[in-house]
Amino acid sequence: MQEFLPEVRRIAGEAADAILEVYQSVEFRVAVKEDFSPLTQADLASHRHIVAGLEHLAPELPVLSEESEGITYEQRQHWDTFWLVDPLDGTKEFLRRNGEFTINIALIREHRPVLGVVHLPVSGQTYWAVEREGAFRSANGETVRLQAARTVGQPVKVVASRSHALTPTVLFLDRMAQEHDLAVVSRGSALKLCMVAEGEADLYPRLAPTMEWDTAAAQCVVEQAGGRVTTLNNEPLRYNKEDLLNPFFMVASPATAPLWPAYL
């Protein structure tokens, strides 16, 4: 896995160039998928580049991307190891031109993410992790090792979705605020998980729908930084299910992980 990492980071960086070419253009086309989520030329350009790069890097490993078509569960249920890709996570943030969108590439082995790369095209910042090797962030030529918070924040720093601040999340935070001071910030895409990994947030409650490709790469980063990504039953998120929809989940620092169940 460590041998894959430099090439995966390179592939993500080149896909970012394709995204930015669209992002910086005056106008671009936006389609609407069957689930009513937006789709741009940038999503498709990134998808094509990443899939081609990963197939060249490891021809024996299948690739499942958000923009893949025609891959059935009957085919992928036999996949022990495969790439799971979101070529542009945060298309709504892309359309708002706020820079809070990412490229997510994960290697899944036995239903767990064991390598993850999360790249921000606008800033050039990259988060990455490999199982048992730790989690890191690079920006402007500097690389730092990530560590999720070991003490409970004062106030507790909670990150929420910029595009999905729905009622269950509000109710959860209202209950938690009765016993803790909270500082709540909004971010888009996989950045929310990465904030927990680097100690910038203590907790990310996700009480709204996500898909497996939304979370896999960043889950690896969080876990290798010492944090936890679990269902509301405190079980790790699993991958390559028949239904690719994630259950609701919590991303927590090791210090905050014991606190949140009381406020569900």
Q: Is the pLDDT reported for residue 41 higher than 70? A: yes
Q: What's the rounded Cα separation, in Å, for the pair 84 and 105?
A: 6
Q: What's the rounded Cα separation, in Å, for the pair 96 and 261?
A: 34
* pLDDT recorded at residue 61: 98
Lookup: tokens for 235: 């079980």
Q: What's the rounded Cα separation, in Å, for the pair 237 and 228?
A: 10
* pLDDT recorded at residue 32: 67
* pLDDT recorded at residue 165: 58
Which residue ranges make up each domain of the chain?
5-145, 156-263
Please tell me if the domain spanning 5-145 has the same topology as the one spanning 156-263: no
Closest C-alpha among 140, 19, 159 to residue 90:
19
* pLDDT recorded at residue 1: 74
Q: Is the pLDDT reported for residue 164 higher than 90? A: no
Q: What mean pLDDT is predicted for residues 85-91?
A: 95
Does pTM top 0.75 for this prediction?
yes
Q: What's the rounded Cα separation, in Å, for the pair 83 and 65?
A: 8
pLDDT grade for 184, boundaries at 50, 70 and 90: very high
Give CA 76 to chain center in angstroms: 21
Q: Is the pLDDT reported for residue 193 higher than 90? A: yes
Q: Which residues contact 157 (CB under 8 A, 6 or more apart)?
A: 182, 183, 185, 200, 201, 202, 203
Q: Is the pLDDT reported for residue 259 higher than 80? A: yes
Is the CATH code 3.30.540.10 the one for domain 5-145?
yes
- In this structure, the number of other CB atoms found within 10 A of the CB of residue 78 comes to 9
**Residues 248, 208 contacting (CB under 8 angstroms):** yes
pLDDT grade for 188, boundaries at 50, 70 and 90: confident
CATH architecture assigned to 156-263: 3-Layer(aba) Sandwich (3.40)
